[in-house]
Amino acid sequence: MAADILIVDDEEDIRELVAGILEDEGHQPRTARNSDEALAAVESRRPQLILLDIWLQGSKLDGLQLLEAIKAQNPTVPVVMISGHGNIETAVTAIKLGAYDFIEKPFKADRLILIAERALETSRLKREVQDLRTRGGAADRIVGSSSAVGALKRIIEKLAPANSRVLISGGAGSGKELAARLIHERSGRADGPFVVLNAPAMSPDTMEAELFGVEEGPGRARRIGALEEAHGGTLYLDEVADMPRETQAKILRVLVDQNFQRVGGASRVHVDVRIISSTSQDLAEAITEGRFREDLFHRLSVVPIRVPTLAERREDIPELVQYFMERTAANMGVAPRRIGGDAMAVLQSHDWPGNIRQLRNNVERLMILALGDPNAEISAAMLPAEVGALVPAVPSGIGGEKLLGLPLREAREAFERDYLIAQLNRFGGNISRTAEFIGMERSALHRKLKSLGVES
Ligand SMILES: Nc1ncnc2c1ncn2[C@@H]1O[C@H](COP(=O)(O)OP(=O)(O)OP(=O)(O)O)[C@@H](O)[C@H]1O
């Protein structure tokens, strides 16, 4: 992946030599002759690596002072110092001030490349660790073998390498962000950052500062925005329709011009960012109601994809439950608990308005409830009332007075109809798997459904 590298040196020969070596490696070097130029270059766009000469002749700040100034504003950017022969002590001071490493002049191209690659790799790994920490656990993957998930995985593999913008729609907690992460990980930008901007979690007043950053000024501290943070990578705009119209207009400009202004800034910042956005709302409706700009919709939705709801992929529930059970158990340092057939049937029949996130939370809760006894089997009785109560297993309310008011033959038919509809639902309409579970021949089940007037 081409990295944006800033070379700061007062000697023209060195600047050109280093830039040439890095360019041959496929990077995109920029150069600065002194501290003013360097600060302006960092200001115009934060580089991914800085190579900084310790001795800067004719510069307002010397190398160490400049290092401090850069680090104060951009603590995560790796800086490699270029030191003259015999400046080891100064180089050591630089490391104490936060430089990543130093390289002594004269140096060989190989050594420069090695140090630069190592610095870039370290900063990438740091970001990844940070990212994993904030996500709280091992890297996620799309679990499920249903045809709906298969189709989603295929589409992700296909569109990931293209640089096109993607709009992901789907219910809350259905896995939109996970899909976006996978697109990023399978793209040429995988080594770059994946930055999330979560509109619903933000107040409309701070949204622009979060997105575009803030230029230092009276009463304003400088701040890097999500767009700049995502340079060389992917920016995930969660719930785009929740952004104020003014912000929408500014995003549109970014998409057209590939540059933007920080809040309170005059100059334009150029970035190379792939934008993936998501929505759980019906955008067509939001457009009709004037809450969402149609032109922005067309720009963002070059490739639209839809993540299926959990109710559309009930067959995947046992696999997902097992996956979350194992993950939770590993996080807690205990063995996974067994789930009884009755509990699984309820989990599989529930409608899950909160989709996979809600299922995951329920599995975590069950695991905590079952902590006392490692051999305990999780039963349907341990499920929270709302999960059990919302199960559409007996939609006509079989039981109680209703059932008792019917002759045996009709009661049996009513029960059979509801039971079979619920089982079919649970297995995603798959007759063979339903037949196998309920212990009937496939053809007999077909006949039965027909006689009960159930569409299959
Ligand atoms: N197919 C899947 N396999 C395993 N885990 C999944 C799957 N889909 C989603 N998850 C997990 O479910 C949780 C919710 O997913 P995610 O945050 O991607 O949903 P979302 O649609 O972006 O939610 P929201 O609309 O609330 O932003 C996450 O912990 C995610 O890792």
The reported pTM is 0.70
Give, for 423, the enclosing helix (H) or strand (E).
helix 408-426
Q: Are 87 and 187 members of one domain?
A: no
| Dihedral in degrees, nearest 10, Cα atoms 379, 385, 387, 390 | 130
Same domain, residue pair 119 and 53: yes
Which 8-state DSSP code applies to residue 381? G
**One domain for residues 57 and 124:** yes
Angle at which helices 442-452 and 431-438 cross, to 10°:
100
pLDDT at 16: 95
Predicted local distance difference test score (pLDDT) of residue 393:
45
Q: Which residues line ligand 1 (CB under 6 A)?
A: 140, 142-144, 170, 172-178, 238, 280, 356-357, 360
Q: Using the predicted structure, report yes or no on whether residue 333 has a pLDDT greater than 60.
A: yes
Which of 131, 140, 279, 281 has most ligand 1 atoms within 8 Å of CB, for mutation?
140
**Residue at 139 is within a domain:** no
Structural domain of 328: 310-389
Provide the mean pLDDT of the chain: 87
Mean pLDDT over 355-367 rounds to: 90
**Does residue 396 surpass a pLDDT of 80?**
no
Instruction: Please tell me whether residues 367 and 249 are part of one structural domain.
Output: no
pLDDT at 395: 47
Nearest ligand 1 atom to alpha carbon 170: 21
Residue nearest to atom 9 of ligand 1 (CA): 175
pLDDT 10s digits, 14-59: 999 999 999 999 999 999 999 999 999 998 888 999 999 998 888 8
Closest atom of ligand 1 relative to the 135 alpha carbon: 29
Backbone angles phi, psi at 434, to 5 degrees: -65, -45
Q: Total domain count for the chain? A: 4
In this prediction, residue 139 carries a pLDDT of 44
Examine the fold and report which residue of 265, 291, 306 is the final residue of a domain before the chain moves on. 306
Q: What is the pLDDT of residues 101-128, one digit of tens each?
A: 999 888 899 999 999 999 999 888 888 7
pLDDT at 51: 96
Q: Is residue 394 part of a domain?
A: no
119 and 38 in a single domain? The answer is yes
Is 45 part of a structural domain of the chain? yes
pLDDT of residue 110: 93
Residues 200 and 109 both lie in one domain: no
Asked whether residue 44 falls in the same domain as residue 174, the answer is no
Predicted confidence at residue 116, as pLDDT, reads: 94
The token pair at 201 is 């979690």
Of 272, 306, 340, which residue constitutes the final position of a domain? 306
Q: Is 48 exposed, middle or buried (0-12, 13-18, 19+ CB in 10 A)?
A: buried
Per-residue pLDDT, averaged over 148-164, amounts to 92
- 269 DSSP β-pair partners: 260
Number of helical (H) and strand (E) elements in the chain, helices listed first? 20, 14
Q: Which of 81-90, 261-270, 297-306, 344-353 has the highest mean pLDDT?
A: 297-306
Of all residues in the chain, the percent with pLDDT exceeding 90 is 44
Residue 70, helix vs strand vs coil: helix
Amino acid of residue 423:
Q
Model pLDDT, residue 230: 94
Residues 250, 126, single domain; the answer is no
